[in-house]
Amino acid sequence: DSGVTQTPKHLITATGQRVTLRCSPRSGDLSVYWYQQSLDQGLQFLIQYYNGEERAKGNILERFSAQQFPDLHSELNLSSLELGDSALYFCASSIPRTTGRNTIYFGEGSWLTVV
Amino acid sequence: SQELEQSPQSLIVQEGKNLTINCTSSKTLYGLYWYKQKYGEGLIFLMMLQKGGEEKSHEKITAKLDEKKQQSSLHITASQPSHAGIYLCGADMGGSQGNLIFGKGTKLSVKP
Per-residue confidence of chain A (115 residues) as pLDDT tens digits?
889 999 999 999 999 999 999 999 999 899 999 999 998 889 999 999 999 999 999 989 999 999 999 999 999 999 999 999 999 999 999 876 656 667 899 999 999 999 9
Residue A39: per-residue pLDDT: 87
Whether residue A105 lies within 8 A of chain B, CB to CB, comes out as yes
Q: Tell me: pLDDT of B75 over 60.
A: yes
Residue B58: per-residue pLDDT: 87
The torsion defined by the Cα of B35, B92, A105 and B9, in degrees rounded to 10, comes to: -20
Q: Smallest Cβ distance to A55: which of B35, B96, B105?
A: B96
- Which amino acid is present at B51? K
Whether cis (ω within 30° of 0) applies to the bond prior to A8 is: yes
Residue A100: per-residue pLDDT: 63
Q: Which residues of A touch B42 (CB under 8 A)?
A: 2, 90, 106-109
What CA–CA distance (Å, rounded) separates B6 from B80? 21
Q: Which residues of B touch A2 (CB under 8 A)?
A: 42, 44-45
Question: Using alpha carbons only, what angle is made at residue B27 by residues A57 and A92, rounded to the nearest 5 degrees?
Answer: 40
Whether residue A43 lies within 8 A of chain B, CB to CB, comes out as yes
What CA–CA distance (Å, rounded) separates B25 from A69? 35
Identify the three-state secondary structure at position A90: strand
Largest Cα span, chain A = 45
Query: b/e map of B21-60 (b: 16 or more CB within 10 Å)?
Result: bbbbbeeebebbbbbbbeeeebbbbbbbbbeeebeeeeee
Residue A96: per-residue pLDDT: 67
Residue A72: per-residue pLDDT: 95
pLDDT digits (tens, 9 = 90+) for B10-68: 999 999 999 999 999 998 888 899 999 988 789 999 999 987 788 999 889 999 999 88
